Amino acid sequence: MSTPSLLILAGDGIGPEVMAEVTRIIDWYGKKRDMPFDVSEDLVGGCAYDKHGTPLHDDTMAKAQEVDAVLLGAVGGPKYDDLDFSVKPERGLLRLRKEMDLFANLRPAQCFDALADFSSLKRDIVAGLDIMIVRELTSGIYFGEPRGIFTEGNERVGVNTQRYTESEIDRVARAAFELARRRGNKVCSMEKANVMESGVLWREVVTKVHAESYPDVQLSHMYADAGAMQLCRNPKQFDVIVTDNLFGDLLSDAAAMLTGSLGMLPSASLGAPMANGRPKALYEPVHGSAPDIAGQGKANPIACILSFAMALRYSFDQGAEADRLERAVEKVLADGARTPDLMGPEGGTPLTTAQMGDAILAAL
């Protein structure tokens, strides 16, 4: 196979800082493990708007379609808050997800043992937590038409449309069942079938996919409000959760926060296989652009580094190398390496973003 290609879109805020550490790790893999990557870089979000007047230039979109995987940092910032909806930084990210058809967003919510005390939850409720939220990412209310702000009579009305076709539900359900087989073999599907017809169809299709193709996996259904509750009460009851785009947005953020490891959590967004067999893929940390600490060397690069580990696993079939990188992260945490977001009340001197990168490289 030819050298795998990566497009790096560092984006806004702390994006460039955390991505700089990932770049060093990528270099390390090229030099020390004989795994070179063909890396190119481009703009997304506010910085793309600043340069091109659009949060994602067509050329960048075209490049993203060609590479083996995209690594994204973060988008957005207060500077762009008053921009028109159509050119907000987020639209760049949403366009990537939609046009690459990245329908399965994998969001592991894992509690790192060294950090369990950072959770607002009691230690025994989160220690050892390891769930995988599979969020549908290319449909639902994020993209449904009609949408917009319209005038009706003498007032305006804001409209968005939740739409799910059977095949959209089918493919994300399969992704969830496949993952469950390689983990705890349990899937919990969440919707509001008691209130929304789109939820009724969701439940029906998930049930059908299960019966036809994955009867060996344990399937349960939960209303999304009860799901939000259960995530807070007893998150360890879950293995894989599959849910729609909007519920997935809220539930995965809540789950991420529960772990106490928000600055640590990666994500993968996967689409259909390309000609070379690799899935279309974009990897990004779950955290945002954190404009308040941008440019100060305070950002935690681990979520972005673990996103690259997910790329090794899901795009490049290098599970052992992904494990190696994840173990290096666990080791530095166990040894006490901490960026400012991970400092407990005991205090001490935190590492800078680059020093955390150094530590992980050393552990590798």
Ligand X SMILES: CC(C)[C@H](C(=O)O)[C@@H](O)C(=O)O
Known binding-site positions for substrate = 97, 107, 135, 225
**Considering the rule CB under 8 A, would residue 228 count as an interface residue with its own copies?**
yes
- Determine which residue in the list 62, 159, 195, 211 makes contact with ligand X, applying CB under 6 A: 195
Q: Which residues are annotated as a binding site?
A: 77-90, 97, 107, 135, 225, 249, 253, 288-300
Distance CA 221, CA 187 (A): 8
Enter the tokens of residue 238. 């879950």
When the beta carbons of 175 and 255 are compared against ligand X, the nearer one is: 255
E strands within 1-53? 5-11, 38-42
Name the segment binding ligand X (CB under 6 A); options: 57-65, 90-98, 168-176, 256-264: 90-98
Helix, strand, or coil (residue 314):
helix
Give the DSSP letter of residue 87.
G
- Asked whether position 185 contacts its own copies by CB under 8 A, the answer is no
DSSP string, 51-86: HHSSSS-HHHHHHHHHSSEEEEEE---GGGTTS-GG
User: Is 249 in the active site?
Assistant: yes
Active-site annotation holder among 29, 42, 68, 142: 142
- For residue 249, state whether it binds ligand X (rule: CB under 6 A): yes
- In this structure, what token pair is assigned to residue 17? 């800082």
Tell me which of 253, 280, 283, 314 is the catalytic residue. Answer: 253
Question: Which span (4-12, 48-56, 58-66, 159-167) binds its own copies, by CB under 8 A?
Answer: 159-167
Give the count of beta carbons closer than 10 Å to the beta carbon of residue 26. Answer: 20
Nearer to ligand X, 249 or 341 (CB): 249
Residue 257 found at the interface with its own copies (CB under 8 A): yes
* Beta carbons of 43 and 7 less than 8 angstroms apart: no
Beta strands in 179-321 (DSSP E): 186-191, 218-223, 240-243, 266-273, 279-285
User: Which of ligand X, its own copies, none interacts with 202 (beta carbon under 5 to 8 A by kind)?
Assistant: its own copies
**Which of 161, 194, 220, 296 is in the footprint of ligand X by CB under 6 A?**
194
| Residue 168 within binding range of ligand X, rule CB under 6 A | no
Q: Which does 176 bind (CB under 5 to 8 A by kind): ligand X, its own copies, none?
A: none
Closest CA to 303 of 115, 98, 55, 46: 115
The nearer residue to ligand X, 93 or 293, going by C-beta atoms, is: 93
Q: Which residues, 71 to 130, sit near its own copies by CB under 8 A?
A: 76, 85, 88, 90, 94, 120-122, 125
Q: Does 93 bind ligand X (CB under 6 A)?
A: yes
**Out of 136, 239, 253, 284, the residue judged to bind its own copies by CB under 8 A:** 253
**List 8, 231, 290, 312, residue binding its own copies (CB under 8 A):** 231
Bridge-based pairing of strands 240-243 and 5-11 is: unpaired
Q: Which residues pair with 69 in a beta bridge?
A: 6
Element spanning 361, H or E: helix 353-363
- Please name every residue paired with 220 in a beta bridge, in sequence order, or none if there are none: 188
CB 113 within 8 A of CB 130: no
Q: Single out the segment in contact with its own copies by CB under 8 A; choices: 44-52, 189-197, 293-301, 349-357.
A: 189-197
Task: State yes or no: is 192 an active-site residue.
Answer: yes
Annotated catalytic residue within 12, 244, 249, 341: 249
**Tokens matching residue 232:** 């807070």
Contact 76, 288 (CB under 8 A): yes
Report CA-CA distances (Å) from 171 to 95, 116, 203, 219.
Answer: 20, 34, 13, 16
Name the residue type at position 344: G
Nearer to its own copies, 77 or 357 (CB): 77
Catalytic site residues? 142, 192, 225, 249, 253
Q: Enumerate binding residues for ligand X (CB under 6 A).
A: 90, 93-94, 194-195, 225, 249
Q: Enumerate binding residues for its own copies (CB under 8 A).
A: 76, 85, 88, 90, 94, 120-122, 125, 141-142, 144, 147-149, 152, 155-167, 192, 194-202, 224-226, 228-234, 246-247, 249-251, 253-254, 256-258, 262
